Chains A and B, each alone.
Chain A
């Protein structure tokens, strides 16, 4: 009986794996700046800050999906939330520093925030394929 179901299960698993791969690819695409499809290339300070906010929003969306799917524990999701809140605050601080005329300081804060978001992106990507 089970042997009759195996091909169907394999096909279903294959579809889910394909979908997960597609989701991971789209996440990578969104978090990478979307330049390939004509979305804005982050070539100015404000565009980089804007891309940072979009990255934060996309990461939060993905974290919700991962949490609901049981691939992110409550503790992990809480840490992701805290990191995202800190990233929003850091981007706001970078804007304030830039408005004050310290472009170097603003760029350094922005670069540090982008580095944190890049690491968070990698972390969420690893969670897409692993149970908690």
Chain B
């Protein structure tokens, strides 16, 4: 098996899990919408992932 493709699969699964976790937290607090703090977390994840791409390119 190609380890790079496994990486891609794992990354996608992790992203999906993050989204589900934030959604569950939102529901646990009885909210129906994401709040500003949750958006900041997601923005940070996106920025970090882009940083990973930048580092890979070198």
Q: Residues on A close to B: CB < 8 A?
A: 15-16, 19-20, 22-23, 26-27, 29-30, 34, 37-40, 44, 46-47, 49-51, 53-54, 56-58, 60-65, 67-69, 74, 77-78, 80-81, 84-85, 88, 91-92, 95
Q: Please indicate which of the listed interface residues B5, B26, B35, B49 has the most CB atoms of chain A within 10 Å of its own CB.
A: B49
| Contact between chains at A65 and B46 (CB < 8 Å) | no
Is B16 part of the contact surface with A, judged by Cβ < 8 Å?
yes
- What DSSP secondary structure best describes chain B's contact surface? helix
User: Please, how many angstroms separate the alpha-carbon atoms of A80 and B9 in the complex?
Assistant: 19
A88 to B8, CA, bound (A): 21
Question: Which residues of B in the span 9-35 have a Cβ within 8 Å of any Cβ on A?
Answer: 9, 11-13, 15-16, 18-20, 22-23, 26, 32-35
